[in-house]
Amino acid sequence: MKKNFLFSLLLGLVLFFAACKKDAKFDYYYYSAEDYALLSQYLNLPEIPHDFSLKSPSAFGNIQTTPPDPDLATLGRVLFYDKNLSKDGTISCGSCHKQEYAFGDNAAVSKGVFDRSGDRNSIALMSVTSFASQYGTDLNGPTGKRFFWDNRAETAPAQSRGSMTNPKEMDMSMAEIVAAVEAQPYYAPLFKKAFDDTNVSEDRVTQAIAEFVNSIGSLNSRFDLAAKANQDKGLFDVVNLPFSDFSVQENKGKSLYMLHCGSCHGFDQVNLPTATGPNGFPIVLDHTSNGLDADPVDKGVGAFTGRSEDQGTFKVPSLRNIAKSAPYMHDGRFNTLEEVVEHYNSGIQPHVNLNPLLRDLDGSPKRLNLSNDDKQALVAFLKTLTDDKVLADVRFSNPFKQ
Ligand code: HEC
Ligand code: HEC
């Protein structure tokens, strides 16, 4: 009796493993043959979705709270590059957020549908270590950065909705977006994988795009690698000591950066630890005036909040891959990093909300009086923030054939 029981247990186990093995073999065809053939008519997608998680953690701690869902991020990638989601069929998110320019645009202001010009410079999405770890209250509670130069969007889905419905960008209603997605044959297999059924809705579209955008991150610049090599010494040393793998000029630029720029743009190029928030997270210095104009036409955050202390202030951007995302500032007024450095050196304009860090003790705009060597060193340091690997990463590239 007992022997019989053991025997059937054994047989059961053998059958169980055989079933698993069959499943495993079945899994090899991730999409059904018909679905993959359909997808392949339009898209260059791998047979098994890419892993969108950021592989090597940066020297600066937590980068992705949860790894992105590969099916959802794959769907988001296709939506991100799909021109069918615009009024005239010519514009996708990727038209103004180009991978080779760190997901920014090389035009001062981008063109939207029907050649309409926008008002501001596209923001380089690859200017951060990890989108997910820095943006959006959905992930970060009240400490998450908000979206756009004027911080008007709170979450990635809200941001996407803003871009898709903006008359100067894609100019669609969300109902039109849903209809446009339903009209493309390649979405059914992708929705099936991401959501288990093929129903298209506004929430699903924005959720998928958010998953893709949130998977963007950059942490293999020379600065990261050097910081990682010095990691055990702690942030203080990373900020203050020269990196052995930097040139003398780059190290000089690093010291100048930490002295004149780091308080706003971050010492670690990850976050802006200027104060500690209620739950122990650093509060982000998210917007201020860097003195571009005495009387700016674009009121930035102030136009959104209506508060006098916000007038003429803009988001403080992260500077990763900055050498790739010219032109610079919210209106794309500077074409080179040299011009940017000259602005901070000699061009700061008085403005009621000019940040105190850019003022002398008497309140007037600060003049750094940098030598030519200093200016070149600063630019050399900014170039160490380029991550060539991510700029060519196939996971973030345009999947459309044609
Ligand atoms: C016509 C050009 C254009 C298109 C199309 C476009 N964007 Fe943008 N994007 C911009 C510009 C310009 C800004 C900055 C606008 C502002 O701050 O007012 C921006 C800002 C953003 C930001 C904010 C980044 C930050 O750091 O605050 C994100 C995220 C973004 N876009 C993602 C997308 C997505 C996703 C799509 C597609 C659904 C998209 N964009 C479509 C031009 C465009
Ligand atoms: C007081 C805070 C502050 C300091 C200090 C500061 N910046 Fe900025 N920086 C800003 C703000 C705010 C913006 C966005 C301004 C805008 O576009 O209106 C900006 C924008 C930039 C940009 C353009 C980014 C882009 O994506 O277009 C670069 C490059 C830059 N700063 C470099 C520097 C350098 C180099 C220094 C040191 C010499 C420095 N900043 C010092 C606040 C600061």
Going from the C-alpha of 291 to that of each of 148, 208, 296, 332, 343, the distances in angstroms are: 19, 38, 9, 15, 9
213 pocket-lining for ligand 1 (C-beta < 6 Å): yes
pLDDT value of residue 56:
64
The CA R_g of the chain, rounded to the nearest whole Å, is: 24
pLDDT value of residue 133:
65
Q: How far is the CA of 97 from the centre of ligand 1 (A)?
A: 7
Name the token pair of 268.
């670690």
Q: Higher-confidence residue: 3 or 233?
A: 233
| Ligand 1 atom 41: residue of nearest CA | 93
- Could you tell which of 261, 310, 355, 379 is best to mutate to test the pocket of ligand 2, judged by most ligand atoms within 8 Å of the CB? 261
Nearest ligand, CA 131: 1
C-alpha of 297 from chain center = 27
pLDDT value of residue 54:
78
Q: How far is the CA of 231 from the centre of ligand 1 (A)?
A: 34
Least confident among 50-54, 61-65, 224-228, 248-252: 61-65
Question: In the predicted model, is pLDDT for residue 225 greater than 90?
Answer: no
pLDDT value of residue 224:
84
pLDDT value of residue 63:
60
Average pLDDT for 364-392: 95
Q: Measured from the CA of 368, which atom of ligand 2 is nearest? A: 38
Q: Higher-confidence residue: 129 or 88?
A: 88
Name the token pair of 266.
């971050």
| Ligand 2 atom 30: residue of nearest CA | 340
Q: How far is the CA of 70 from the centre of ligand 1 (A)?
A: 23
Q: How many residues does the chain have?
A: 402
Average pLDDT for 45-50: 95
Least confident among 50-64, 219-233, 282-296, 358-372: 50-64
Q: How far is the CA of 130 from the centre of ligand 2 (A)?
A: 20
Q: Measured from the CA of 382, which atom of ligand 2 is nearest? A: 35
